[in-house]
Amino acid sequence: MTSNPNPPLRVGVAGVGVMGRNHARVLADLRDYDLTHVFDMDAVTAQGVADVYGATAVTTAEAFVDAGLDAAVVSTPNRTHADLGVALLERGVHVLVEKPIAATVADARRMIDAARANDRVLMVGQVERFNPAVEAVKRAIADEQVISIQITRVGPFPPRMGEVGVVIDLAVHDIDIIRHLTGSEVAEVQPQLARTRAEREDTALLQFRMENGVIAHITTNWVTPYKVRTLQVATQGKFVVADLITRQVTEYFGQAPDGSYQTRAVNSWPSEPLKRELEAFAHAIRTGETPAVTGEDGLRNLEVALRCLGQA
């Protein structure tokens, strides 16, 4: 009997709040992984999630690092990403860290350096990269000269939030989308922030000029009573609109002098972005290829977010 050339990767999830539970659910369903450990400082939470998937619960970072993992997902609070991530990387564990990569630029660089020094994969969980609607927009504008990008990401205040405002929690998604779609870095930032109901900014209007000349705008808040996630890209030849929740993508093109135009729907394949992300993580580990979202990507996204907050 021949052995499996690609045995499942022993994987653990650190931090099983909302996002960590989602990671555990998807990992348990993927053939690339064997979910063996769940870490949360709350013993009841850790045990509850571990029991669902037949994993071992641990309640300390030390026990998690010592668990003999091949790979780990770090979805603990942002301020803990770097210490836990570096400890795992130095133990030879590949790491997928939830966005933002870390709380500070220095911490992000520590993680990048640790991954490089130990020849391990460090991937950042910018899950919207794997949204089929974003992928469809990228295909639609591939041969176009992009003029502008506008993203709206608004909704009600999330009770789980405590340590960050909307720029770090929400806009980091869209900073990454803008960098991804333009293939360019942010040259200028013009932020407008407001704090109305929360301890930190809960409304932000962010304007950017990219190095390649594209202008971009992000509207984000926690004061809209319902969720909206829309992406609009204007190019020389078309206008592309995507709903990142319903995954519907539409192209408007062929505008005539009389104001008429044509439209067409763009195919957006149904798939769960988190599943695509975790498959990409396994692919990078198996092949040694550069991960889809690198530590450097995470660092750039964090730098831009901190510039918007006046902290860089």
Q: What is the DSSP string of 75-97?
A: -S-GGGHHHHHHHHHHTT-EEEE
DSSP letter at 265?
E
Angle, CA 206 vertex, CA 200 and CA 180 arms, to 5°: 115
Q: How far apart are CA 166 and CA 151, in angstroms?
A: 14
Q: What is the pLDDT of residue 162?
A: 67
Helix (H) / strand (E) containing 272:
none
119 in Cβ contact with 112 (< 8 Å): no
The pLDDT tens digits for 240-266 are: 999 999 999 999 999 999 999 999 999
Homologous superfamily of domain range 9-120: NAD(P)-binding Rossmann-like Domain (3.40.50.720)
Please provide the CATH number assigned to the domain covering 129-272.
Answer: 3.30.360.10
> What pLDDT is recorded for position 267?
83
Radius of gyration of the chain (CA): 20
pLDDT at 106 over 60: yes
> Domain residues of the chain, as ranges?
9-120, 129-272
Per-residue pLDDT tens digits for 176-197 = 999 999 999 999 999 999 998 7
Phi first, then psi: give them for residue 112, nearest 5 degrees: -60, -45
> Do the domains at 9-120 and 129-272 have one common CATH topology?
no
Helix, strand, coil abundance in the chain, percent, nearest 5: 35, 30, 35
pLDDT at 159: 76
Looking at the DSSP bridge assignments, the partners of residue 186 are 210
Q: What are 107's two structure tokens?
A: 């911490």
CB 7 within 8 A of CB 33: no
The amino acid sitting at 166 is V
Give the dihedral sign, CA 46/51/53/54.
positive
pLDDT of residue 2: 41
Contact assessment for residue 178 and residue 208, using Cβ atoms and an 8 Å cutoff: yes
